[in-house]
Each structure stands twice: as structure tokens, then as C-alpha cells.
A and B are shown apart, each in its own frame.
Chain A
Amino acid sequence: MADAVSFPPRAGAPKERWLHRNRRAIAPWMFLAPGVLFFLVYVIFPIFQSFEISLYKWDGLGEARYIGLRNYEKLFSDRAFETSLWNNLKWLVLYLLAVPAGLFIAIFLNQTVTGIRLYKSLFFFPFVISQVVVGLVFTWFYDPTFGLLNTIIGWFGAGPLNVLGDPAFVTYGIIAAGLWPQTAYCMILYLTGLNAVDPEQVEAGRLDGARGWRMLWHVILPQLRPATFIAFVVTIIGALRSFDLISIMTDGGPFGSSRVLSFYMFEKALSEYGFRMGYGAAIAVVLFLIMLGFIAYFLWSMYRDERGA
């Protein structure tokens, strides 16, 4: 694009001419320099530093001691690490329920009755609230003595259920809390997507006798692909980043049964019983490698689209 326009040569002192001639090659770097520098120092370099730190035994204060891959060896026999990894998997799978749930609500709300705009905003509401507050709200919601959940199931003669105090339920309880804002996010993505659906194709589909599910599957969903892609990206990233809710609702408990890698890493690295930065970094590296698989896939999809465009 930019190179297609030929640049009219101008007379001047040689030095000025060089700058002038190359200004289109130099300009982008001037614009990029501050942002790239910041990003390298605070994001890119730290990734590599974490890899290095994971090879040391280090309390964050004294001398770091090189121990090779010993931190990783320890991970294999660490039951808490195993629990965290399993819980991460649960998060990843169950969190994705936010995508169809969001689509469902979006279809429900995609109407033009009076006041629908306010309804859409209010349905979206949970996403704007910080996860810390969502965590508190749901902690009280689940409370075994006065929580709304137990009040309600009490009407049916069930309970009381101590969701956050029971290792069998705790992770699912926290995921449910996380699904609340995440579904709202997916909903808004799909609402915007539905807005852009081509009405002519819908009409054509109707003429061909497509209704309900068939219409959704064959006509609507293909047009919602960009929304679906973003919904998957943000939901997967969100699932692997889950930290706030766990920290607020259970602090990893009971008996460490609701930990995930991101939380376990934090707990080890900044533990009250002495910092274990090297071990923490090793956990972070594992989490990073899991995420890297997804990131690579996202980038590949984006690359394909770029080439296609």
C-alpha cells in the first residue's frame, strides 16, 4: 500500500536529503520506539527471565542457587501441583459453557420491544463489576447459614449445602461464579454479531423453509464466526487466568482443593513461610506453555485472516 506511491525527489543538503528520502522507513520506528521499549521491558523480557529463575532456588532476597531442572522434577511428585492442574482443566472445559450460554441469552434478547436496550445493559452488568466483588457476592450467595442458595434449596427440603467448604463442590462453585460475568461478555459479543447478520440471507433461508435450529446452524452461526472466535479466545484466556475469584472466595481451600496453577504459583512464590521464587517460576512456566499452545493457534488464525484480507 504505502510503497505503491512514488515519492517526489527534492533538492537539499545531502544529509537532509537522506533523512527525507528515508523518512518513510524511519518514521514507523519513531512511532514504535516508546511502546515497543515499554512492552519489551515489562512483558517480553520478564517471560525469559522467568524461564531462567525457574532453574534456581531463590527466596527473593538472598543469593540464588542454580539447581538445573530440579524445580521441575519436584513438580512431578507435588500433589498440590497435580490438583491445580486438574482444576485448570475443569476451568477450561466448564468455562467454555459461557459461549453457548451467551449465545442463548443474546438470541433471547435480540428483539425490538420497548425497553430492550435497558434489558441488554442490565444483563451485561455482571461483566463490568470487578471479579473481587463478584467473588464476595457469590461467597455470600453460597453461605451455608444465610446464603440465598441454601435458603432457596431449603424450600425444597434440601441442604444445607456448604459449597465452598466441600472439596467435592468448591471448584465447581467458583467456576459457576466465574461463568456469570463471562456469559455476559459472550452475550454482548453475540448481540453485536447478530446485529450484523445479513437480513437478506435470513429471508432467503426462510423462503427455503429453514426455521429455528436449522436456521441457526446453517445460516446464522456461519455469519457469527468472528464473534465466536473472539468469544473462545477471551473465555480460554479468562479460564487460565482465573485467580481473583479463588483468592477471594476460598484462598485455595478447603485443604488446597480449589487451587489452580495461577493461584498455586502466587502462593508458592510469595508464601508466608518464605518466598520460593524459583519453584513459583517453574509453575508459571508450565502455565505459560499451556497458554502458548492456545496463543500459537490464535496467532495462526489471525495470520491466515491477514493473508486472506
Chain B
Amino acid sequence: MFPAPIRKASVPWQLAYRTLLPVSLFLWLLPLMAVAVFSIKPADDFTTGNYWGPPSTFEAAANYGRVFFESDMPRYLLNSLLITVPTVIGAVALSCMTGFALGVYRFRANLWLFFMFVAGNFVPFQILMVPVRDLTLELGLYNTKTGLVLFHIAFQTGFCTLFMRNFIRTLPFALIESARVEGVSEFRIFRYVVLPLMKPAIAALSILIFTFIWNDYFWAVVLTQGAGSQPVTAGITSFNAQYRAAYHLMSAGSIVAALPPVAMFFLMQRHFIAGLTLGAVK
């Protein structure tokens, strides 16, 4: 193990380490905690200049209540959900198939197709912006959640294929061979032999794509406008325009907008981290 376990170090070192941990974490999360404190303060604290003192009254319920009941925030959150969940399902489904094809079969175009997915996944969004916006307009899907979902599915398929293909390569190939010898059709091999083994990869990808899409901002502003279709990342700017200089409300709004992926992460941490390392670091 590297570095040497602190348990083997002398007592003063151990104590130093144990005090350093919470201190460094506190400093690391300082900007975020500031926002959390803001979100439970009353409006008066900001007019009287009490920014960093303790809140004069605790207004968490009132502030968050206004975010949920007096603004468009719930609609934006719902939009985000309606954009994110179909994208996750679509991209994971497509990439299970592409990953299977590229991971299991040998044919000449294999590596080229794989590299197409990988390279496409890395291109800057701006090179796609004008044509994709155009295409979405032509399909009559501009300013709809569907338009955004279709693009997200297509784009995320690149990353998901990379991930799935590499994962399938680690599966024991003998399983597939023996199924073939027994005359099982290729589709049934996919459905009944490989797919059940892919569950951990599917879990990891789903949680990861959920976070990516929930946090997307660029495509949200390029392809949608207004509370009818915009997700919460884009909605938060209109929210902030509505409550300009009401820092307690803007803070509460930001925390609400950030929360779903955070919750997902803490619930499914193991899968999330497996996904982030692209399966390459084990």
C-alpha cells in the first residue's frame, strides 16, 4: 500500500493526520458550505450586511418553500427528469447492442467503427451546434424535450459504446463459444448469455449518464427555451433573474438544482466510480 499506512506511524503523526482530515475537507467544501448557509438565512440578513455571521433567524423552510411553491423550479426539475431518464434508457440500450457487436465479432470495420464512436465522443460541441440545431428545427423538435433527448441519446452512445465494448471484452469468451456450439442463435446469445453479465456495466453507465445529462447546460440553451421544455440547469438562470439579489433564494434554488445527481451519487457510489474510470483502471 502506498503511502505507508498511517496506523504504523507514531502517535503524534496519527493525531496530526486525524485533525488535518476534517480541516482540509472543510476548506475544500468551503464555497459550497457558504451557499448552504446563505440558503437558510432570512432576506434581512443581506440588507443589514450580516453575510457571514450566524443567521438571525433560520428560514430554511420559508426559503425552500418559496423555491418549490412560488417559482417555476418544480417544472424545470420535472423537465430535467423527463429529459434525463429517456436519454439514459436510450443510450444504454443502443450501446449494449453496439458494444456487443464490437466486443464479440471480428470483422474488418470493427476497429474503425469503434474509433468513430470514441473520436465522436471527444469532439467539441460547437462543431455540432449549427447543424444539430438546424436538424432539430427541421424535424419540428426545436424547443421540445424530445429534440434534446434524441441528440443526447445519439451523442452519449459514443461514450457508452466505448465503455460497453471494453467491458464485454473482459467477459469470458468461452461462454459465447459454447453457446454457439450448441447452436444458440446470435440474438439469444446476446439476450440470455451476455446481457445478464452486463448488469454491473449497465448500472455504472446509467448512473454516470444520469449525472452527465442532468448537468448539461450547453445543449439545453441551444435547443430549448422557456419553462415548457428547459431543464433545471438552464432554468436556474431565469430563476436567478426573477430573484435578482435575493441571495437566500438563489442559494436555495442552486442547492435544489444540484441535489438529484448528488443523491444519485451517494446512493450508487460504487457503480458511479466504476463508470468514471471507464473500466480501464480496476
Which A residues have a C-beta under 8 Å from some C-beta of B?
A: 1-3, 5, 7-8, 23-25, 27-32, 34-36, 38-39, 41-47, 49-50, 53, 60, 107-108, 110-113, 116, 119, 121-126, 128-133, 136-138, 140-141, 146, 148, 151, 180, 185, 188-189, 192-194, 196-197, 199, 202, 215-216, 219-220, 226-227, 229-230, 233, 237, 240-241, 243-244, 247-248, 261-262, 265-266, 269-270, 277, 280-281, 283-285, 287-288, 291, 294-295, 298-299, 302-303, 306
A interface: dominant SS = helix
Q: Which of A28, A196, A287 has the most CB of B within 10 A?
A: A28
Across the interface, A119 reaches (CB within 8 A) one of B21, B155, B185, namely: B21
In contact, A24 and B186 (Cβ under 8 angstroms): yes
- Kindly provide the distance from the CB of A263 to the nearest chain B CB, expressed in whole angstroms: 9
Judge whether B243 is part of the interface by a CB distance below 8 angstroms. Answer: no
- Kindly provide the distance from the CB of A232 to the nearest chain B CB, expressed in whole angstroms: 12
Q: Which residues does chain B contribute within 8 Å of A216, judged by CB atoms?
A: 2
In contact, A38 and B261 (Cβ under 8 angstroms): no
In contact, B123 and A295 (Cβ under 8 angstroms): yes
In contact, B278 and A241 (Cβ under 8 angstroms): no
- 5 A-B contacts, Cβ less than 8 Å apart? A110-B3, A229-B280, A240-B124, A287-B127, A299-B119
Query: Which residues B1-46 have CB closer than 8 A to chain A?
Result: 1-3, 5-7, 17-18, 21, 24-25, 28-32, 34-35, 38, 46
In contact, B130 and A196 (Cβ under 8 angstroms): no
In contact, B277 and A227 (Cβ under 8 angstroms): yes
Q: Given contacts A1-B173, A35-B157, A189-B276, is CB(A131)–CB(B215) below 8 Å?
A: yes
Q: Which of B29, B104, B233, B258 has the most CB of A within 10 A?
A: B258
Q: Which residues does chain A contribute within 8 Å of B63, judged by CB atoms?
A: none
Q: Which residues does chain B contribute within 8 Å of A151, judged by CB atoms?
A: 51-52
State in angstroms the CA–CA spacing of A184 and B254 once bound together: 20
In contact, B131 and A121 (Cβ under 8 angstroms): no
Across the two chains, which residue of chain A brings its CB closest to B46?
A146
- Kindly provide the distance from the CB of B139 to the nearest chain A CB, expressed in whole angstroms: 10
Q: Which residues does chain B contribute within 8 Å of A136, judged by CB atoms?
A: 35, 236, 240, 250, 254
The 7 closest A-B pairs by CB, nearest first: A42-B154, A130-B215, A46-B131, A35-B98, A31-B101, A27-B186, A49-B131
Across the two chains, which residue of chain A brings its CB closest to B257?
A133
In contact, B273 and A287 (Cβ under 8 angstroms): no
Query: Which residues B257-282 have CB closer than 8 A to chain A?
Result: 257-258, 261-262, 264-266, 269, 273, 276-278, 280-282
In contact, B122 and A196 (Cβ under 8 angstroms): no
**B-side interface residues, number (CB < 8 Å):** 103
Which B residues have a C-beta under 8 Å from some C-beta of A?
A: 1-3, 5-7, 17-18, 21, 24-25, 28-32, 34-35, 38, 46, 49, 51-52, 94-95, 97-98, 100-102, 104-107, 110-111, 113, 115-120, 122-132, 135, 150-151, 153-155, 157-158, 161, 173, 177, 180-181, 183, 185-187, 190, 211, 214-215, 217-218, 221-222, 233, 236-237, 240, 247, 250-251, 254-255, 257-258, 261-262, 264-266, 269, 273, 276-278, 280-282
Across the two chains, which residue of chain A brings its CB closest to B214?
A130
Across the interface, B31 reaches (CB within 8 A) one of A29, A119, A141, namely: A141
State in angstroms the CA–CA spacing of A129 and B102 once bound together: 33
Q: Which residues does chain B contribute within 8 Å of A3, judged by CB atoms?
A: 106
State in angstroms the CA–CA spacing of A180 and B51 once bound together: 23
Q: Which residues does chain B contribute within 8 Å of A196, judged by CB atoms?
A: 281-282
In contact, A262 and B126 (Cβ under 8 angstroms): yes
State in angstroms the CA–CA spacing of A295 and B115 once bound together: 10
- Kindly provide the distance from the CB of B174 to the nearest chain A CB, expressed in whole angstroms: 10
In contact, A39 and B31 (Cβ under 8 angstroms): no
In contact, A1 and B101 (Cβ under 8 angstroms): no
Across the two chains, which residue of chain B brings its CB closest to A212?
B3
State in angstroms the CA–CA spacing of A3 and B106 once bound together: 7
In contact, B52 and A133 (Cβ under 8 angstroms): no
Across the two chains, which residue of chain B brings its CB closest to A184?
B28
Q: Which residues does chain B contribute within 8 Å of A1, judged by CB atoms?
A: 106, 173
In contact, A112 and B35 (Cβ under 8 angstroms): no
Q: Which residues does chain A contribute within 8 Å of B214, judged by CB atoms?
A: 130
In contact, A199 and B52 (Cβ under 8 angstroms): no
- Kindly provide the distance from the CB of A181 to the nearest chain B CB, expressed in whole angstroms: 10
In contact, B125 and A243 (Cβ under 8 angstroms): yes
Across the two chains, which residue of chain B brings its CB closest to A296?
B119
State in angstroms the CA–CA spacing of A22 and B169 once bound together: 23
In contact, A35 and B233 (Cβ under 8 angstroms): no
In contact, A193 and B281 (Cβ under 8 angstroms): yes
In contact, B31 and A137 (Cβ under 8 angstroms): yes
Contacts A39-B117, A47-B127 supplied; 15 other A-B pairs, CB < 8 Å: A23-B186, A27-B187, A38-B157, A42-B155, A43-B155, A119-B21, A129-B32, A136-B240, A146-B49, A202-B1, A230-B281, A241-B124, A262-B124, A284-B129, A298-B118
Q: Which residues does chain A contribute within 8 Å of B102, judged by CB atoms?
A: 28, 32
Across the interface, A261 reaches (CB within 8 A) one of B24, B110, B122, B126, namely: B126
State in angstroms the CA–CA spacing of A265 and B129 once bound together: 10
Across the interface, B132 reaches (CB within 8 A) one of A24, A36, A42, A146, namely: A42
Across the two chains, which residue of chain A brings its CB closest to B265?
A128
In contact, B117 and A284 (Cβ under 8 angstroms): no
Q: Which of B34, B180, B277 has the most CB of A within 10 A?
A: B277
Q: Which residues does chain A contribute within 8 Å of B277, judged by CB atoms?
A: 188-189, 192, 227, 230
Q: Which residues does chain A contribute within 8 Å of B105, judged by CB atoms?
A: 2, 24, 27-28
